[in-house]
Structure 1
Amino acid sequence: MSQKLRLGVIGAGLKAAEYAESWARMPEIEFVALADTSETSRKRLIDVCTAAGAPEPKGFADYRDLLTKCRDELDIIYVSTPHASHAEQATAVAEAGLDLFLEKPMVTTVAEAERLIAAQKKSGVTIVTAFQGGLSPLVLDTRKRALSGEFGELIAISGMIWESWSSNYEGHWKQRPEISGGGFMFDTGAHMMNTVCLLANSDFDSVSAYMNNHGKKVDIATAVSARLKNGALVTLTAAGEGPPGCASYITFFYSKAIVRIDAWGGWREISVGRTSEPREEAEILGNPMKNFLAIRAGTMENSGSVEMGLRFARLWDAIKESAAADGTPVRIAG
């Protein structure tokens, strides 16, 4: 019997093909099967695997066929499909008893998150959402130090993220609300929301939000004002149009320190009293499968757990509800 972990992929798009170039060469991984509705995408991912010297994986047009016909040949599944498909596919994977590495965001609504959590609890599988920030050593170190009390009490959070997203993704599925689940705030902005949810160490209590679609079918600009259940105040701004490029800045104001970090965990600055430490930089993860395997083995904290995904989903549902009511505050239960 092979000692390698047997991998199936649902969604053979560009992200999966990018990762496969390194995954197919990992000694811990064996590509077994993939599923995608596009024959072109399936062929591209198969070619990536064989070019790396790996055996040709089986291809399916329907992910349900992959799970039915290859269930006993698989250990883990990577899902990389449009956002609105995540809940159905992730829940099916969990119900099949397979560990899951899921592209961000986990799901699109609280109801979907709760169904996935129920499936995960019943099967006992490992589920990790693939946010680079959640797997970044700088973000994880910040979380550890904040939880230890080193920075003191969390007072406030200010976050912003911007990208020339509106023009970059003109005509792309990301701007089709029926499959994207949202616009810029739910796509690139999801990195900011997730890093805030992870480092805040608290659920949200109340949210007020505004959105502007700037002529698109999805939100391009979003402004959020919120309060955490631990009392800290939060402001988040997402601007999905502007000069070419993409960047984020998140500032955590504590009673003993100020921590500045970007949404992906690429850099961090810490100020304690009047002393500012030099900026620390870390390479944004190019192969998150190594982190997934460490979480699966129990040697790394699961910062992309279904419980964290539920916190994120509660925030996102509240943002949508408040924005639809022209900024009326929304209280979050739970």
Structure 2
Amino acid sequence: MPVVRLGIIGCGSISYYHMTNLFYVQEARVVAFCDVNKENAKRLRNYVYRHRDFKQDEMIYEDYREMISNEELDAVYVLTPHAYHYEQAMYALRHNLHVLVEKPMCITPEEAKELISEAERRKRVLLVSYQRHYEPPFRYVRTLIRSGEIGDVRLITARIGQNWIRPCTGTWRTDPKISGGGELIDSGSHIVDITQWLVDKKPIEVYAFISNDGAPVDVYSHVFIKLEGDTSIVIVINGNYKDAWTEEEIIDGTNGTVYIHNGRVTVVREDGIYTPTRLPRGSSPDANFINCILGREPNESPGFRGLLVAAITQAAYRSAREGRPIKITL
């Protein structure tokens, strides 16, 4: 059985999601853990290898460059704060490693283009961890849209509410130099991505109203995106929601409407309303990453998705600052 040797850059809370997914991928082997806080790296190592005893710093690094130099790696995970993604992913690619990077892939579209170009030049996998691409409800709706069952999509409305600002206050997520912004570039990145992915049409123009509500970064966002053809997207983000999370996407077509409410799908047509009982099989960014490296699957969340999100997000921030629509150039 082939083995893909992995190094982890960034061992914070999101790393446990990825490690749990990798438990189900037999070909994956994590051989090194890197974090500027060694204790974070040790905790993650002990979680992955919970039945094994280690010497104090075995498999542990504080500098990702040292890890890449010392270990025989096939790939790395970049799971650090947003502003560090570009530098760390580029360094790995230039050392001929495959890269899975957490969202957002990077802060600016210019950085995104450079990462994509480097990955293509070196024939390395660059995958952005947008997990909705792998979740059965979203896979079902994307296939439904492409089948033409609800006609031509004219409008997508998406809304998230998250108890975000309170737990994030005082952390790196509310330091714009490290985070690149607030709720829009953080959890909102998933919503910008999934609305694009469902219809897969080129974005043309963005108009946004954004409020920090007294915080160092954005908390509330209203983002309007014009796509090619007669399709548009409206995204509403509430980073001061009083419960943990709520999410809804509404896709309006000329022959019907699809609702996705917290993962539950409802289809409305003239001939009736139904909830699908059979959804496609799900997967994970981690399984897809390993299978891409082994040549078994196509990349279902490639770097281009990160470029789209970066372009739209930065256009939204600029639109809010300047009070006018901003054209998208890719």
TM-score for both structures, normalised by structure 2: 0.91
Q: Note the C-alpha offset of 1:298.
A: 4.9
- Shift, 1:14, TM fit: 2.0
Per the alignment, residue 172 of structure 1 pairs with 171
Match of 1:80 in 2: 79
Number of the residue aligned with 2:66: 65
Residue 322 of structure 1 corresponds to which residue in structure 2?
Answer: 319
Cα shift at 1:75: 1.4
The aligned residue for residue 244 of structure 1 is 243
Deviation at 1:91, TM superposition (A): 1.5
Q: How does 1:225-244 map to 2 (within 5 A)?
A: 225-244=224-243
Counterpart code for 1:20: M
**Structure-1 residue corresponding to 2:270:** 273
The worse-fitting range, judged by mean Cα deviation, of 97-106 and 295-304 is 295-304
Equivalent-residue separation in structure 2 for 1:135 and 1:6 (angstroms): 23
SS at match of 1:51: coil
Q: Which range moved further: 56-65 or 30-39?
A: 56-65
Cα distance in structure 1, aligned partners of 2:293 and 2:246: 31
Query: Separation in 2 of the partners of 1:14 and 1:286?
Result: 21
Alpha-carbon spacing, 1:13–1:281, altered in 2? closer, same or farther (3 Å): farther
In the alignment, residue 65 of structure 1 is paired with which amino acid?
E
Give, as a single letter, the amino acid of the residue that structure 2 aligns with 1:87.
Answer: Y
Say if 1:78 and 1:285 are closer, same or farther in 2 by CA, change over 3 A: farther
Rounded to whole Å, the distance in 2 between the matches of 1:251 and 1:298 is 35
Corresponding residue for residue 311 of structure 1: 308
Written as runs of structure 1 = structure 2, the 5 A alignment for 1:141-180 is 141-180=140-179
Tell me, yes or no, if the aligned pair for 1:250 and 1:260 is still in contact at 8 Å: yes
Residue pair 2:134, 2:284 contacting (<8 A) in 1 also: no
Query: 1:293 is matched with which residue?
Result: 290
Partner in structure 2 of residue 333 of structure 1: 329
Shift of 1:46: 2.1
- Which moved further from structure 2: 167-176 or 287-296? 287-296
Deviation readout 1:224-271 (Å, 9 max, x if unpaired): 1221022212211101102122111111111122112258xx332222
Cα contact 1:76–1:100 (8 A) shared by 2:
yes
Q: Is the 8 A contact 1:31 1:54 kept in 2?
A: no
Return the offset for 1:55.
7.6
For the residue of structure 2 that corresponds to 1:100, the secondary structure is strand
Relative distance call for 1:287 and 1:143 in structure 2 (3 A) is closer
In the alignment, the residues of structure 2 paired with residue 300 and residue 273 of structure 1 have an alpha-carbon distance, to the nearest angstrom, of 38
Report how far residue 330 of structure 1 moved: 0.6
Cα contact 1:49–1:55 (8 A) shared by 2: no
The structure-2 alpha-carbon separation of the partners of 1:67 and 1:238, relative to structure 1 and needing over 3 Å to count, comes to: same
Deviation string for 1:49-92 (max 9, x for gaps)? 3314498862211111112222xx11121111001111111112
Matching of residues 1-334 of structure 1 within 5 Å = 3-21=2-20, 23=22, 26-53=25-52, 58-70=59-71, 73-262=72-261, 266-278=263-275, 288-326=285-323, 328-334=324-330
C-alpha distance in 2 between matches for 1:137 and 1:300: 17
1:105 maps to a residue whose letter is P
Q: Any conservation in 2 of the 1:24–1:30 contact (CA below 8 Å)? A: no
TM-score (norm 1): 0.90
**Structure 1 residues 16-25 or 234-243, which shifts more?**
16-25
Read off the aligned partner of 2:230 and give its amino acid letter: G
In structure 1, what is the Cα distance between the partners aligned to 2:67 and 2:221? 38
Q: Which runs of 5+ in 2 are unaligned?
A: none
How far apart are residue 101 of structure 1 and its match?
A: 1.5
Q: Which ranges in structure 1 are unaligned for 5 or more consecutive residues?
A: none
Q: 1:205, 1:332 within 8 Å by CA — same for their partners in 2?
A: yes
Q: 1:149 offset after TM fit, Å? A: 3.0
For 1:287 and 1:54, locate their aligned partners in 2 and report how far apart those are by CA, in whole Å.
29
CA distance in structure 1 between the aligned counterparts of 2:248 and 2:78, rounded to whole angstroms: 28
SS at match of 2:218: coil
- Residue-by-residue CA offset, 1:115-139 (whole Å, 9 max, x unaligned): 1011111111111111121221322
Farther off after superposition, 6-15 or 136-145: 136-145
Computed over aligned residues only, the root mean square deviation of the Cα atoms, in angstroms, reads 2.5
SS in 1 for 2:190: helix
Residues 54 and 20 (structure 1), Cα distance of their counterparts in 2 relative to 1, 3 Å cut: farther
SS of residue paired to 1:244: strand
Moved more, 41-50 or 111-120: 41-50
User: Counterpart amino acid of 1:171?
Assistant: G
The C-alpha deviation readout for 1:80-117, integer Å capped at 9, x for no partner, is 10011111111122222211221111111101101101
Partners in 2 of 1:174 and 1:196 — Cα distance?
A: 23
Offset at residue 287 of structure 1 (A) = 5.7
Alpha-carbon displacement from aligned partner over 1:160-198 (angstroms, at most 9, x marks no partner) = 111121112221211111111110111111111110111
